[in-house]
Amino acid sequence: MSEARRVSVVDDDESVREALPDLLRVLGFETRAFCSAAEFLQSNWMPRTECLVLDIAMPGMSGPDLQVELKRRGLRIPIVFITAHKNESERLLLIQGGASACLFKPFSDVALLEALEGVFS
C-alpha cells in the first residue's frame, strides 16, 4: 500500500479546520490543520507538506502572502486556495501566480478531490 499524501489545511475558520481534515482523511490523505499562516510556517509539518489547502483571507498573513513567503524560501508546495469571496478576477490572478486551483466556498467534496487529484497526478 502506498503512503498517504500529506495535505495541510490553513484557515482561520474553526469549522473549516475541523471538517476539512476529517474529509481529507476519508479521501485517503494524511492531514494537519493550522489556524494561521504563521502557525503553519513554524510547524514541523510544513516541510513535509505535499499540498496546501489555503484560505485567501486571514488575519495577519493572508493566503497569497503565504504563497509569496513559500516562494521566497524556495519551497514549491502546490496550493489549492479556498475562499468565501467569489471574485473571479482574484481567482484568475492566483492561478496565474502558480496556484493549482481556487475553490469558492462552499465547494463540493468532488471539486476538492478533483483539485487534489490535479496536484498529485
Residue 112, C-alpha cell as written in the block: 476538492
Per-residue pLDDT reduced to its tens digit, 11-40: 999 999 999 999 999 999 999 999 999 999
Strands of the sheet with 101-104, listed across from one edge: 30-34, 6-10, 51-55, 79-83, 101-104
pTM for this one? 0.95
Residue 32, C-alpha cell as written in the block: 494537519
Of all residues in the chain, what percent carry a pLDDT higher than 70? 98
Q: Is the pLDDT confidence value at 1 over 70?
A: no
How confident is residue 2, by pLDDT bands cut at 50, 70 and 90? low
Just give the CATH number of 6-120. Answer: 3.40.50.2300
Per-residue pLDDT reduced to its tens digit, 48-59: 999 999 999 999
* pLDDT on residue 87: 87
Taking the domains of the chain in order of start, what are their residue ranges?
6-120
